[in-house]
Amino acid sequence: MPAAADIADDSPSFDAVTAEERHRRAADAGDRAAMVDLAMLLGDQGRAVDAETSARRAAEAGAVAGMNYLAILLENRGEITEAEFWYRRAAAGGYRPAMNNLAVLLEERNETGAAEAWYRRAAAAGHPRAMNNLAVLLETRGEAGAAETWYRRAADSGYLGAMFNLALMLEGRNEAGGAEVWFRRAAAFGHPGAMFALAVVLDRRCDIVGAEEWYRRAAVAGETDAMFNLAEIMTARGEADAAEEWYRRAAVAGDAESMYLLARLLERKDTGEIYRLAGALERRRRAAEEAATWLRRAAEAGHAGAVFRLAELLERGGRAEEAETWLRRAVSGGNHQAMYSIARLLKASGKADEAEIWLRRAVAGLRPGDPRSGNPTSGAAAPRR
């Protein structure tokens, strides 16, 4: 995917408390750069209408940075035709971010030839993001050699996305040493995906200390799979509270497997010795309720093991019809244990003929030695990638 829209070659940094007044005075005096700076400041504050007014003023005064920023604002609200007009004017004026943004717009509507031409113009002018986007386009159509050249040029210019993409390319052709070098460079400069990828490399060669460090940094930066793998490490060494924390963070971020494993962890906590010894009935009740909530959320997200477990709990609680509904979801996803369960449930409710059908399907779908349960285990066979 092309990188996000370029706003400017060098974004200004001012004290937000006094910047607006200072920019307004300069803009009112005809300073085009101040008009652009004011527009960007207002945009950062979420004041889109005021930002567009100031950007338009700068664009109409001939400021190419103002044209580019106005185009970005217009594109964000769906005014694609006018956005393209201003991108083209700024690009024709030699503004590299506008060349790149125009190329992205053209590529998104499948005008790849025109997009490539603008990527090349921006890249030749030394714009690292355009170099990276050109490399992505070339790699997508199978021109790996040319793509690598541009990835390297962008990476050597300090563009983190290109460092990461180059590392992925090298890893894909089994150049592990070269890939690790670029993962490390990008990770050291704060690229979350590179932090996670580096952690996976270290994890796979059993450097758990190094892997944990980079999983943790990637997780703090918002990488959901890093949160999950960190939780798995904590689980493997028996640190249940730490595992719960990271499963919870990944679950909140929407990871269905983490929702399921968090629910199972909370179920075990609910029946744990500490609860029985302490007699903490309220804490035990809260743990059970939270486990049920996460189990249902995982099931609603399509997690097969969660669907089966939820149905099992509903049946135990006397809610057979709701259990049957969830089991039907599970069997539609190919869960063989659920086929046995729905057959048993249907037989108990007097639907013997349909029960026999599901029993036959379950038997036909299992090879000798296959585990019957579709429930995932808490330990991952390999780190996520």
For the record, the structure tokens of 383 come out as 């780190």
CB 2 within 8 A of CB 136: yes
What letter represents residue 17's amino acid? V
| Cα within 13 Å of Cα(33), Cβ side | 4
Domain regions of the chain by residue span: 1-125, 138-222, 224-301, 304-385
Looking at domain 304-385, which CATH architecture does it have? Alpha Horseshoe (1.25)
Look at residue 261 and tell me whether its pLDDT is greater than 90.
yes
Question: pTM score, two decimals?
Answer: 0.78
Identify the CATH class of 138-222: mainly alpha
Contact 285, 255 (CB under 8 A): no
Q: What is the pLDDT of residues 43-66, one digit of tens each?
A: 999 999 999 999 999 999 999 999
CB neighbours of 212 closer than 8 A, spacing ≥ 6?
A: 199, 230, 233
Instruction: Decide: 241 and 226 in contact? Cβ < 8 Å.
Output: no
DSSP-derived secondary structure letter, 314: H
State the average pLDDT for the chain: 86
Ramachandran region, residue 213 (left: φ > 0; alpha: ψ -120 to 50; beta: rest): alpha
pLDDT digits (tens, 9 = 90+) for 111-146: 999 999 999 999 999 999 999 999 999 999 999 999
Tell me the CA distances in angstroms from 296 to 226, 318, 369, one per residue in order. 23, 17, 30
> Could you confirm whether domain 1-125 is CATH 1.25.40.10?
yes
Nearest-10 crossing angle of helices 256-270, 224-236: 30
DSSP-derived secondary structure letter, 147: H
Answer yes or no: same fold for 138-222 and 224-301: yes
Judged against a pLDDT cut of 90, whether residue 349 lies above it is answered with no
So what's the architecture of 224-301 in CATH? Alpha Horseshoe (1.25)
Q: What does the alpha-carbon distance between residue 210 and residue 193 come to, in Å, rounded to a whole number? A: 16
